[in-house]
Amino acid sequence: MSNKYVKGLVFVVVGIVILVALLYLGDVIASAASGGESYGVSAQSPFGGGNLLQGWATWVIIGGVVLYLIYVLFADAEMFKIGTREVVMMAIGAALYGVLSWLFNIVPVPSVSLVALRPVVVIPIFFGFVFGPAVGFFVGAFGNVLGDALTGWGVFPIWDVANGLMGLIPGLAGLYLGKGVRGKVQTLLWVCVGVLAVAVILPLVSPNIIDPWSGEMSNFGAWWYVMLIVLVVMLGMSLAPRYWPYLLILLTLAFIAFGVVDLVNNGFSGGVVVVWAVAILCAVGAWYVQSKTDAITAWLSDDDTKALVVWGTLGVIVGIGFAAFADIFFNGYNFTTAFIGEFIPAAGPNILFAVILTPLLYAAWKQARVGAGR
């Protein structure tokens, strides 16, 4: 099939069929994990009855249309080629993201939805950036299906597509890195800054959100300074990545503090153990950075890593934005509830992890390639 329009259509249709099959498989796993109490696709209307926008299949198809347009626009790029290596990376990445997401799903973030603290969001972003958008989408989407199913929550197709987009968007960076059109990264940086600036302002202007499920009023005003930190860190990493080791140390301290607060408020739990385990890993990462200062400083100053920060941020904004926007129609949220109560709690921490932790993974991968003589 040399016609990119036909090839793209086949690619997307096959992808949707595989995704739907895995959604139903995830439904079975979630039902077994929860003792039949999960919220699976069988309990959700595929086309919303009288309202198509309240059907999960509608949003899967909309996601497919987005993928089709991206493919048609960039089909000639080398990054869309899928071979044995890409298939292997899809399987490895999806398994890692699924299992690690399952571990972190026990650490909730205050929101109007099932949002968890997920440092492992770096996995689809890294796989997409390094191995291409198709790999990134597969890792994000199918890994999220697996993680939610193992947790026993059920499956949430809109969020599965959203996680796929988080992996796909960073994969598009190859278009500009390969062609040397690096000025685009600077433009995208300020687009991301604009979105994050809105995320800082809105919780200040409208901090109180009525929970659409319980009807109770919740104050999300504290999120403005969280998003301000996210904005500052993202700008710092993209404009002066040499300061990244210090941010890694601060993230370590933040995880320790988060664990202490959770311990005081809720007692000792698996969530505390997971958070402190991540703090230890971050501390090890900080030590690793200090021991490889010269090489890592050089890697973090190159254009690839700056692009990783910007495209990773954009991936989170697009992916979580897709899910939050869809929930305006799917769950009946208003814009304020969707943006402040769902987008900000999910996107803010994810961007912070993407900006600070993905470069560590990328630097380790670069070192491994150098060690292997590649």
- pLDDT one-digit tens code per residue, 160-180: 999 999 999 998 887 665 554
Output the six-digit token pair for 358: 């993905």
CB atoms within 10 A of CB 6: 10
Over residues 211-215, the mean pLDDT reads 81
CA end-to-end span of the chain, whole Å? 33
Whole-structure pTM value: 0.89
**Best-predicted range by mean pLDDT among 120-129, 177-186, 279-288?**
120-129
The domains of the chain are located at: 4-176, 180-371
- Phi and psi for 292 in degrees, rounded to 5? -120, 35
Q: Is the pLDDT of residue 79 over 70?
A: no
Distance CA 139, CA 133 (A): 10
Question: Which pLDDT score is estimated for 181?
Answer: 44
Over residues 96-107, the mean pLDDT reads 90
Output the six-digit token pair for 307: 């692009």
Distance CA 373, CA 355 (A): 28
User: How confident is the model over 225-261, as pLDDT tens digits?
Assistant: 889 888 988 888 877 766 777 777 777 787 787 777 7
Burial letters 223-258, b for 16+ CB under 10 A, else e: bbebbbebbebbbbbbeebeebbebbbebbebbbeb
Looking at the DSSP bridge assignments, the partners of residue 209 are: 218
Distance CA 210, CA 148 (A): 26
Output the six-digit token pair for 50: 């009288």
User: How confident is the model over 322-348, as pLDDT tens digits?
Assistant: 999 999 999 889 999 999 999 999 999
